[in-house]
Structure 1
Amino acid sequence: MGSVDGKAWAQSSSVQKTGGAGADSSQPLQHRTIFMPRDAEIEQVSQSPQVPNVLDADSREALGIPPQLLEDDQSWADPGDDCVDCDAIVPLISHKQADAGVTWLPGTDDDLGIFSINLSETIEVPRFEGFSVTPYFGVHYLDGPVQTDLPARVYDTSVAFRWFKKQNEKWSYELEVAPGVYSDFKNVTSDSLRITGKGLAYYVHSRSKQFVMGVVYLDREDIALLPAAGMIMWFSEGSRLELIFPKPKYTYRIEKTETLERWAYVAGEFGGGSWGIRRGSAGFDDIATYSDLRLIGGLETKHEGGMISKLEVGFVFNRKLEYKSDIGNYDISPTGMMRYQLTF
């Protein structure tokens, strides 16, 4: 969705409400919430859904335009009075977006390599404003190491239920719960059941700042819960800094034409996950947990028609592989990362 000239939009809205150009012009301009510029769609995608995005594209979109882009005589307002097609039949569900991506962390015989493929579909429920459902499937192909008996692949399957509510001009809230099974599909027991989620509150502090506070629930063997807190700062329509733990990010628009926009960004990320697995010839069940930290640089292109492509490269460090049984735990050498993502 392209950016909108807020002042021009507000003026045209005012004319419509007052019955034409000859109406009383002394009434203050009312600025309804419109979506952020196209950088609202920029998001880093976790290597595993077991690490939910703290501030994703839907959150940015629902929060509205950057406050500092409002004129002095404009104010935030709730949408609703000028209803279009109010008598139209509201569908039970509707397609919002689909995502497909690949991630590669190269490895050797002595260090773990991971090649991941992920697919998801986000469905909106128009009868329940702010509610969406996202089924997700991912597979991770594991390469090495020779000193431990990881399976050849592990899988992620989950369904995320998300609700976003804009309470007023200052406060917005977001809740998400995503039950799933994370396993090699040989150990499908309570060991492989995970329920991730997040609960966040957003506060508009000023015309250029918002604050985020809440928790991200990982339900992992190494870390069950992370606090999520920080600040979002807009420097201009094409520049934003998200000082948010555990996923800080800075984005900057480098190109804008009639058919596309291109954004560059740098980000930090906490990756990994836990999977129920069946180990070795003995065939005993265990839980494997992989974790890492990532520094990422990315380039996103949003094309006319809504398709979004993302290409990321990064440095992955502080890598660890641990088992619930404590048999075979070891530290893994740093590696690189490449990731490509399509949204349509």
Structure 2
Amino acid sequence: MQTPPDYQRHLFVLTAVLTIVSGVFAQDYNPAVINSPVVINDSIQQRVSGNTERAYGEIPIERYRKSFYQGAEVLGGYLGGLGDKAGGIDTTFEEARVAFGVPLGSMDNILALRPYFRADHLRGPTVIDAPESLYNTGVSLFNQKKWSERFSSTLMLTPSIRSDFTTSKNAFRLFGLGLVNWQKRPDLSLSLGVVYLGRSDLPLLPAFGATWTPTPWWKFDAMLPRPRISRRLWKNGGESEGWAYFGGTIGGNTWAVTRDSGADDELTLSDLRLLFGLEEIRQGNRGGFFEAGYAFNRSIEYEQTEEDIDLDDALFVQAGLKF
């Protein structure tokens, strides 16, 4: 199944607008002188912000624990449609993750492992049959190696099972990402690479962007799949800090399912999102976040029968807690 032209156009416009807004807002703030995965953005942001904080004499927050066990996380959310297209589809989800870290010779070369389980639930009649629940379980393998003071690499591989648990055909999915990162300045990191989402509607995509932290209080992240502008609200030494942010991301996924007829098929939910969030970061990979926003360009598709139904725009809220 090829990506619909409208989806490609909206995705390009969303990325361009957020990147332009990031640049304009940054110039207004400092005349001298932006969605799935989140762990990639977090790792790059931590590295750039840590360099900036040290340059300004601040104490960076150590995000990770000095142990094999790196903590757990629970997440949940709700998305409600604003109209009655296809009968209207609302979704809820819950997810649990556990993180582990293994140094590969040094702290500059760490392998992170994150097993997870997620369930998405669909509510509302549609003009095509859709399962009540969809599941996604697997493990993310993440490695970021520092090759020199300026260059590092980021690799992520996520083998997973995505299905309604009634079929195994095409249920195995693979997400992959590779980046080369250049720390051009203490406040600026540039990245270039490729990403494979393992979705029926999106092929292999280029991955590129920049993360700029002009001061410890501002971050401008033009990295896909989750560009955003962040403003720090408060900081408590090296213990914790709070942030507010605005950005966008790609929503949806592909699952293997069984149709009402008994045939195997692949279902894809897709959307684009604008969001506002609040986040607390605490030492040792702890903290929490809350996000709310607007989802548009929504659709539900079946691969084998080539059915493609447009859905209404929606509002969503989601939150997570790391402990």
Contact 1:52 1:198 in 2 (8 A): no
CA drift of 1:192 comes to: 1.1
Unaligned residue ranges in structure 1 (runs of 5+): 1-45, 72-90
| 8 A contact 1:54–1:246 mirrored in 2 | no
2:155 counterpart (166, 175, 181): 175
For each residue in 1:47-90, what CA deviation from the matched residue of structure 2 results, as whole angstroms up to 9, or x when unmatched?
xxxx123733234335672358537xxxxxxxxxxxxxxxxxxx
Question: Is the Cα contact below 8 Å between 2:279 and 2:289 reproduced in 1?
Answer: yes
- Per mean C-alpha deviation after superposition, the further-off stretch among 265-274 and 240-249 is 240-249
* Contact map agreement 1:66 1:237 (CA 8 A) in 2: no
Q: Give the direction of change, closer, same or farther, for the CA distance of 1:188–1:309 in structure 2 (3 Å limit).
A: same
Q: Does 1:241 align with 2:220?
A: yes
1:52-67 correspondence runs (5 A):
52-53=37-38, 55-62=40-47, 65-67=50-52
Distance 2:161 2:53 in 1: 43
Between the aligned partners of 2:231 and 2:37, the Cα distance in structure 1 is: 23
TM-score by length of 2: 0.78
Q: Aligned partner of 1:166: which letter?
A: K
Give the direction of change, closer, same or farther, for the CA distance of 1:300–1:219 in structure 2 (3 Å limit): same
Name the residue aligned to 2:55: 70
Instruction: Quickly say closer, same or farther: Cα 1:289–1:330, change in 2 above 3 A.
Output: same
Distance 1:70 1:307, change over 3 A: closer
**In structure 2, C-alpha distance between the alignment counterparts of 1:156 and 1:140, rounded to whole Å:** 8
Q: Take 1:305 and 1:162, find their aligned partners in 2: how far apart are those partners? A: 18
Match of 1:119 in 2: 96
Query: Aligned residue for 1:221?
Result: 200
Instruction: Say whether 1:318 aligns with 2:297.
Output: yes
SS in 2 for 1:65: helix
Aligned partner of 2:31 in structure 1 is none
Structure 2: tracts of 5 or more residues without a match: 1-34, 57-65
Q: Does 1:275 align with 2:255?
A: yes
Q: How far is the alpha carbon of 1:327 from its aligned partner?
A: 5.2
When the two structures are aligned, how many residues end up with a matched partner?
Answer: 275
Greater CA radius of gyration, 1 or 2? 1
Matches of 2:240 and 2:175, distance apart in 1: 35
**Which residue does 2:78 correspond to in 1?**
104
Percent of residue pairs bearing the same amino acid type: 29
Give 1:199's aligned residue.
Answer: 178
1:144 to 124, 130, 134: 124
Decide whether aligned partners of structure 1 residues 278 and 156 sit closer, same or farther in structure 2, where only a CA change above 3 A counts. Answer: same
Deviations 1:195-223 (A, max 9, x none): 00110111011243210111111011111
Distance (Å, rounded) in 1 between the aligned partners of 2:253 and 2:197: 9
Separation in structure 1 between the aligned mates of residue 222 and residue 214 of structure 2, nearest angstrom: 13
Deviation at 1:267, TM superposition (A): 1.2
**Bigger relative CO (Cα 8 Å, ≥ 6 apart):** 2
Q: What is the aligned counterpart of 1:135 among 108, 115, 119?
A: 115
The residue type equivalent to 1:211 in the other structure is: L
